Amino acid sequence: MNDFSRQRVQALVNQKAAIINAAADNIVKDYVENIQFAKTNESYWKVTALGTRIDLGYIKLTKENEQYEVEIPVEFHNKLKRYNGFNDSEPIEETFEEYWLVLTYNKNSNLWIIDEVKDYYALNKEFMEGNDVVKSEFK
């Protein structure tokens, strides 16, 4: 998840979705489309990945047909701004993006791959506040 956090911002800044290797093809394809749209509109991003928070208290682990899948809430902490030509003088902003990441285990590579990124709508106030939250800060 930390690799994906870094890779997704590098892909936006460099406008190269191929940088993302911690996610499935469908997610990379979404980044290809977003980047192409930005290029068409002469937009670009300035982004720095600052870290993640992962709430291990809300993990959902399942196994179907010998395939493991885990769904986990993650918060990406960034400094981010999308520039569109008219807002180039605006400062970069600190952002917190909350998602449910769905990962599947690839037996061949022995890696977890992110298959789906779902918006997270916190229904409780305890999200990312419990004892099971793991925080990573990038340097």
Q: What percent of the chain has pLDDT over 70?
A: 96
- Decide: helix, strand or coil at residue 40: helix
- Decide: helix, strand or coil at residue 106: strand
43-67 burial code (b ≥16 CB/10 A, e <16): bbbbbebbbbbbbeebeeeeeeeee
CA distance linking residue 61 with residue 39, whole number of Å: 38
Architecture of domain 2-137: Roll (3.10)
What is the length of the chain? 139
The pair of structure tokens assigned to 109 is 């590579």
Q: What is the pLDDT of residues 7-54, one digit of tens each?
A: 999 999 999 999 999 999 999 999 999 999 999 999 999 999 999 999
